[in-house]
Copies of this chain bind each other. A is one copy, B any other.
Amino acid sequence: MEIFNRVESEVRSYCRSWPTVFKSAQGSHVTDESGRTFLDFFAGAGSLNYGHNDPRIKQKLLDYLAGDSIVHSLDAHTVAKREFLRTFQEVVLAPRSLDYKIQFPGPTGTNAVEAALKLARKYTGRETVVSFTNAFHGMTLGALAVTGNSVKRGGAGIPLNHVHTMPYDNYLDGRTPDFLLFERMLADSGSGLDRPAAAIVETVQGEGGLNPASADWLRGLADLCRRHDMLLIVDDIQMGCGRTGPFFSFEESGITPDIVCLSKSLSGYGLPFALTLFRPELDVWEPGEHNGTFRGFNPAFVTATAALEYWTDDELEKETRVKGERVRGALAEIAAEHGGELRGRGLAQGIAFSDTGLAGRACAAAFERGLLMETSGPEDEVAKLLPPLTITDTDLATGLEILRESVAAAREPQPA
């Protein structure tokens, strides 16, 4: 592993928690070069909702590549792109009565967010975007400005402006009515809040600590945006593609965002891919006004199209709910024994420990026991579970048991 330390930048992060070299993977398991296999409750930070190297998707990808099909096309028309557009329209949008234009903003989540923010500002002619406490939207400057984490923000090296941060759901522990401040500031022409172009929100804040917004709160936000003529952007990059159950995490609340950002599990196979969706009347882009070299990465069109077969019925959604209940039960037991607050929804759940170091120690103990998982939250105080949605019941049970042991072990007295 010497070359990583010598040649790669200090910015590397996950490798510090997992001191091994991974080689192969299948489903919910990852194997390192020594042959040791780990159970994966991390799933590429939510990028591998269908597990590693799903055989059906894999075959489609191999066939595509073997046939010398187009790999890279910018935004030229390709057969693979047409197939993706058709399938996404039929499988995802139409059944949900969502009338969205589709933009390929570049292959990563932060591209999707940047495109959303640019479009919202261009369309409304306004500059301020409302973000929420503990939001995470990406690392490029536009997305970083609407991200809460102070370490990430500090990396910008310049002030991050044109944003007003409002409290997320339950941020003040129920001690104030939802949107009280937000509504008041919008209604008051002396509030100092310049009229916002949009609000950008995650339905569950993954990086921010698995904070879930209730359906009521989301409906309240959508209503507020509508009444005040602001656009509502849902960043569904981590929580979309079924992570909380339905394809879009906002479906449960019944809202229809003006703009939606998707990425991570969208390609279904870990390939870089992202979308920005928006109501047709927002499509005020000039041709080429936003572009990007890898906005037409055809292998991702292919795997994403294949992955959408998971969504031709509601099996996966149902299973995710059931597994989510199981996770909740197991976490509740851990919390009962060791303290901690349950967080999240569906298969994005975790425990926030008041001993903020405990989550990190538990993850280290889990790694030793063959389970991959990460922390989240501003103080890394949340042990975060993101198993593949396709995990077997046995694997899920095994992982939860390892977690239970790991938390117990991590609570042992630590050397000074």
Contacts and interface: CB of A to CB of B under 8 A. Distances in A.
Contact of A127 (B25, B48, B143, B159): B159
A390 interface: no
Of the listed residues A106, A208, A299, the one surrounded by the most CB atoms of chain B closer than 10 A to its CB is A106
13 contacts: A8-B85, A8-B102, A10-B287, A11-B289, A62-B62, A65-B65, A122-B157, A150-B191, A176-B176, A176-B180, A176-B181, A264-B293, A270-B297
A357 B361 CA distance: 63
Nearest to A298: B270
Interface in A1-30: 1, 3-4, 7-16, 18, 20-26, 30
Interface stretch (A192-200, A331-339, A393-401, A408-416): A192-200
B185 A133 contact: yes
B272 A107 contact: yes
A76 B16 CA distance: 8
A7 B108 contact: no
A253 interface: no
A7 B181 contact: no
A70 interface: yes
A58 interface: yes
Interface in A64-83: 65-79, 81-82
A291 interface: yes
A308 to B, nearest CB: 14
A236 interface: no
A288 interface: yes
A190 B114 contact: no
Interface stretch (A165-173, A243-251, A313-321, A340-348): A165-173
A71 B192 contact: no
Given A25-B71, A53-B65, A165-B191, 18 more contacts: A7-B101, A9-B283, A9-B285, A11-B103, A11-B287, A11-B288, A13-B288, A21-B77, A22-B77, A106-B139, A109-B293, A121-B157, A134-B192, A139-B291, A141-B142, A167-B184, A176-B181, A189-B379
Interface string A173-190: 001110011001100111
A75 B159 CA distance: 27
A312 interface: no
Given A3-B89, A48-B72, A176 B185 contact: no
A56 to B, nearest CB: 13
Contact of A150 (B122, B189, B283): B189
A135 interface: yes
Contacts of A71: 25, 52-53, 269-271
A159 to B, nearest CB: 5
A127 B78 contact: no
Contacts of A175: 176-177, 180
Interface in A276-294: 276, 278, 283-294
A145 B193 CA distance: 11
A96 interface: no
Contacts of A72: 44, 47-48, 52, 269-271
Interface in A32-59: 33, 44-45, 47-48, 52-53, 58
Contacts of A306: none
A300 B243 CA distance: 26
